[in-house]
């Protein structure tokens, strides 16, 4: 149904007043439990509101009274991705402890969409913004009319000093590379997501650091970047495995790419070793070696920084780093 179809329009206070046979002002006073409204009139107005399905705009009411919104906005990647849903869960539970509510939106890894959502949330008077930046600079968030705390998650802001909660991306990727090198591998493929994002660049650099330290330049011909989902990961890894000298090991830089790798490797009698960044549900069951980190802690810490700013903290920007550690489960321990 189109948005302007009368059938989907929300009932208005004017309709409630008309049905109850009172003035607009009386209807408003009755629904807001203000004094000097006759008991019978109040009952009639509430019955009309119930019949029409009318609900008070709590935000507008609080703002008119000089109050503030209890909403905090989270702009992230696709919440269908278990990583972002776990982050959002950590945010929501921490905010709830402080009487705040979470509203979320997906930036689709698009810079223009991110900026649009920032403006949308500001129009709704959120108390703070939590942002997983989609790439490009975040200088636009330094403008004077932002007026609310901004905390960055997973990826640091570029061109702006602000509170951030990050994963030890470089350290985790370096641990994965060192693990595969220690297992005797040299032809090691790195399959990475969007290289324009800071988190992916950090994982690539952490991996490269370990390779340089080991004097292994052979991995560079197996580097594949901007592989953004499980389907493209299947394609990229499938192509790598058809090379004359295919890689004997794979490192995938997020859970979706690891899923694509598992689909390609399923049923192979001698699959390459595999280490994935991000733990995921059933990874222990299928024996997938991963670089794990606490995703809910990422959200919880970001919400805590935002609440501190809301509560009056005016100190310098703080950065919290969530540790990452390798969990061997079998797939990363296959010999070349």
**132-161 pLDDT, tens per residue?**
998 778 888 887 668 899 999 999 998 889
- Residue pair 73/103 in contact (Cβ under 8 Å)? The answer is yes
- Tell me the backbone φ, ψ of residue 150, rounded to 5 degrees: -125, 125
Can you give the pLDDT at residue 68? Answer: 58
Cα–Cα nearest to 75, from 148, 3, 2: 148
pTM of the model: 0.76
Can you give the pLDDT at residue 4? Answer: 44
Tokens of 231: 């389907």
Can you give the pLDDT at residue 158? Answer: 87
CB contact set of 336 (below 8 Å; sequence gap of 6+): 183, 184, 185, 186, 187, 248, 249, 273
Over its length of 336 residues, how does the chain's per-residue pLDDT go in tens digits?
344 444 456 788 888 889 999 988 888 888 877 778 898 998 998 898 888 887 766 545 554 544 457 899 999 988 888 899 999 999 999 999 999 999 999 998 888 999 899 988 988 889 999 999 987 788 888 876 688 999 999 999 988 899 999 999 999 999 999 999 999 999 999 999 999 999 999 999 999 999 999 999 888 999 999 999 999 999 999 999 999 999 999 999 999 999 999 999 998 999 999 999 999 999 999 999 999 999 999 999 999 999 999 999 999 999 999 999 999 999 999 999
Alpha carbons 143 and 147: distance in angstroms, whole number: 9
């Amino acid at each position: 149904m189109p948005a302007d179809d009368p059938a989907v329009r929300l009932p208005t206070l004017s309709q409630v007043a008309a049905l109850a046979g009172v003035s607009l002002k009386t209807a408003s006073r009755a629904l807001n439990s203000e004094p000097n409204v006759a008991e019978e009139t109040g009952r009639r107005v509430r019955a009309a509101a119930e019949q029409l399905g009318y609900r008070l705009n709590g935000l507008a009411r609080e703002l008119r009274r000089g109050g503030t919104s209890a909403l905090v906005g989270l702009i992230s990647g696709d919440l269908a991705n278990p990583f972002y849903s776990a982050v959002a869960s950590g945010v929501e539970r921490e905010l709830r402890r402080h009487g705040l509510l979470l509203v979320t939106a997906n930036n689709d890894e698009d810079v223009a969409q991110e900026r649009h959502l920032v403006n949308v949330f500001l129009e709704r008077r959120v108390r703070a913004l939590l942002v997983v930046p989609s790439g490009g600079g975040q200088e636009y968030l330094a403008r004077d009319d932002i007026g609310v705390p901004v905390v960055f998650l997973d990826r640091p802001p570029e061109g702006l000093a602000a509170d951030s909660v990050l994963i030890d991306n470089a350290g985790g990727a370096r641990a994965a590379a060192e693990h595969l090198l220690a297992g005797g591998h040299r032809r090691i493929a790195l399959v990475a997501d969007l290289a324009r994002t800071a988190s992916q660049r950090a994982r690539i650099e952490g991996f490269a650091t370990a390779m340089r330290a080991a004097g292994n330049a052979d991995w560079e011909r197996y580097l594949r970047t901007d592989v953004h989902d499980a389907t493209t990961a299947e394609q990229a890894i499938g192509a790598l495995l058809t090379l004359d000298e295919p890689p004997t090991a794979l490192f995938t830089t997020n859970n979706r790419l690891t899923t694509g790798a598992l689909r390609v490797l399923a049923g192979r009698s001698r699959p390459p070793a595999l280490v994935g960044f991000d733990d995921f549900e059933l990874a222990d069951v299928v024996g997938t070696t991963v670089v794990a980190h606490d995703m809910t802690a990422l959200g919880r810490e970001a919400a805590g920084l935002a609440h501190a700013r809301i509560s009056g903290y005016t100190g310098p920007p703080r950065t919290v780093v969530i540790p990452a550690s390798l969990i061997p489960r079998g797939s990363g321990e296959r010999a070349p």
